[in-house]
Structure 1
Amino acid sequence: MSTQHKRKKPQKSESLTIRLDPKMRFALEFVARLRGQTITKVIERAVMEDAERAYVMDGNRNIKGNWSIYWDINAGVRAIKLASDSDTHPSFEEEEMLDFIKVHWNYFAFDRKLLILKRDNLDILWPEIEKLINTWRDCKATDRQYCASLMRAMLEEVGLDEKSWAPSNMDDERYLVDPTDAVIPF
C-alpha cells in the first residue's frame, strides 16, 4: 500500500536580495527605464548573457561547455553534475554530498560512475538529502546500513519497489552500500 507523498509546490521564481550603492542602483534603474523593462528583467538578461559566455575549461584548457551542460529541471541532477566535475570547484559540502551519493550510488544512479541518474528516486530522496547526510555522519561508524534502510523506506512509502534501488546484477544485500567503503583502515 502506498501513501501519497506530499511535496511543496515548486516556485516559478525565487527572490534574491542584493546590496547596491546609490550609483549602481541609479544605473540599473536608468537602463531599465531606457529599455522599458523591469529591473528584474535587466538583471536576468545581463546574467544570462554573461552565463552564455562563461565556459568551464578542463585541465588542458579545452572548453567543456557553459552553464547549460549542468542545468536540469531536477535540483538533485544539477547538484550531482556540478559536484562531480572538479573543474567547477566543488565546495567541501558538495564533496561530502557526492561522497554520500557514491557510497549509496544504487539509490541515485544506475551505475557507480553516476552517469545515468535515477530521476524517480531523486524526486523522493533529494528534498531530504541534508537530513540523510547528517544521519550518515552520525551513524556510519556504528551502522553502515541505517541510511540505506531509511532511503528504502522513503522509496517504498511512495510505491517504488526494490527495483528502484537494487543493483541490476547483484541481489546480495551487501552490495546496497559500496563494499570498498565498508572497511576503514585505521
Structure 2
Amino acid sequence: MAKKASKGSQNKAEALTMRVNPKLKYGLELLCRKQHRTLTSVMERALSALVNDPDEGLAINDSTGFTLSEPTLMLDRLWDPSEVVRLIRLAYDWPQLMAYEEELIWKTICDNAFYWVGESRSDEFIWDTRDESNLNIQKVIADWETLKKVPDEPNAVKLLTHWMPVERKVEGRRVVTQNNSETLTEDDIPF
C-alpha cells in the first residue's frame, strides 16, 4: 500500500510495501548483487520499465485512438500534483480506468450545476459536461474534501455549499430549474 509523502516535499518518494514469494525475493537479491544496486533501486527500475512498456504498460499508441507524432505515456498526460486535476483528466481521457469511488465523485460533479459554466434559458440552467472547458475547476477544488467523502457517505452531498442537482438530461446536456429549492431529498442524491 502506498503511503503519502510528507507535505514538505513534492519530490519525496512514496513508500510501497509489497509481499513476494521467497524464491522471487532471493532472485531480486541476486539481481541487486549483480547490478551493484539497492533493492529499492532495482524495484524502482523494474516497475518503471513495466509502466513504460509499449505493450503492457501505459504507453499510448495508435490502437488507443490517439494519433501522436511520438509515443508518450498515459501517465505523463494524466499526472498532476493536484488530485482534482488528475481525476478530471482521467474522467475525460480514460474513464474506463476510473475506480468505482472516482466514478461516484465524478458523477456528483457532473450532476451538480454549481461546478459548470452553462447557459440560462427562461427559468432553466443548462450545462454540458462533455466539454472540459465548461468545468469550473476552482469550485471543484474548493469542495474537494467534501466530494472525497461521497463514496463512503452518500449523504455527504448535503454538506456541499451549493447543491443544484440535475433534473433531466437533454441530448447529453443537463438541465436544472433555476431558483429551485435547496431542500435535498434522498432522490436528489445522484447514486
Conserved in 2, the CA contact under 8 Å of 1:104 and 1:148? no
| Cα offset, 1:38, TM superposition | 1.8
**In the aligned structure 2, how far is the partner of 1:95 from the partner of 1:13?**
27
Q: Structure 1 stretches of 5 or more lacking a match?
A: 1-7, 141-145, 153-173
Q: Against the structure 1 CA distance between its residues 96 and 132, is the aligned structure 2 distance closer, same or farther, given a 3 Å change threshold?
A: closer
Alignment map for 1:62-101 (pairs within 5 Å): 62-63=65-66, 66-86=74-94, 88-101=96-109
| 2:47 corresponds to | 47
Q: TM-score, normalised on structure 2?
A: 0.56
Q: Against the structure 1 CA distance between its residues 125 and 40, is the aligned structure 2 distance closer, same or farther, given a 3 Å change threshold?
A: farther
**In the aligned structure 1, how far is the partner of 2:102 from the partner of 2:61?**
19
**In the aligned structure 1, how far is the partner of 2:130 from the partner of 2:60?**
20
Q: Against the structure 1 CA distance between its residues 84 and 62, is the aligned structure 2 distance closer, same or farther, given a 3 Å change threshold?
A: closer
Q: Against the structure 1 CA distance between its residues 32 and 106, is the aligned structure 2 distance closer, same or farther, given a 3 Å change threshold?
A: farther
| Cα offset, 1:86, TM superposition | 4.8
Alpha-carbon RMSD across the aligned residues, in angstroms, is 3.8
Q: Structure 2 stretches of 5 or more lacking a match?
A: 1-5, 68-72, 119-127, 169-173, 178-186
Q: Against the structure 1 CA distance between its residues 89 and 24, is the aligned structure 2 distance closer, same or farther, given a 3 Å change threshold?
A: same
| 1:9 corresponds to | 7
| 1:24 corresponds to | 24
Equivalent pairs: percent with the same residue? 24
Provide the secondary structure at the position in 2 that maps to 1:20. coil
Conserved in 2, the CA contact under 8 Å of 1:84 and 1:98? no
| Cα offset, 1:24, TM superposition | 0.7
The structure with the greater share of residues assigned to helix is: 1
Greater RCO, 1 or 2 (C-alpha within 8 Å, sep 6+): 1
Question: Can you list the C-alpha shifts for 1:37-67, whole angstroms capped at 9, x where unaligned?
Answer: 2212211121122212223578x65357522
Question: Can you list the C-alpha shifts for 1:110-139, whole angstroms capped at 9, x where unaligned?
Answer: 97336246555555433443225555x227
Q: TM-score, normalised on structure 1?
A: 0.57
Count of residues in Structure 1 that have an aligned counterpart in Structure 2: 146
Q: Against the structure 1 CA distance between its residues 121 and 37, is the aligned structure 2 distance closer, same or farther, given a 3 Å change threshold?
A: farther
| 1:131 corresponds to | 149
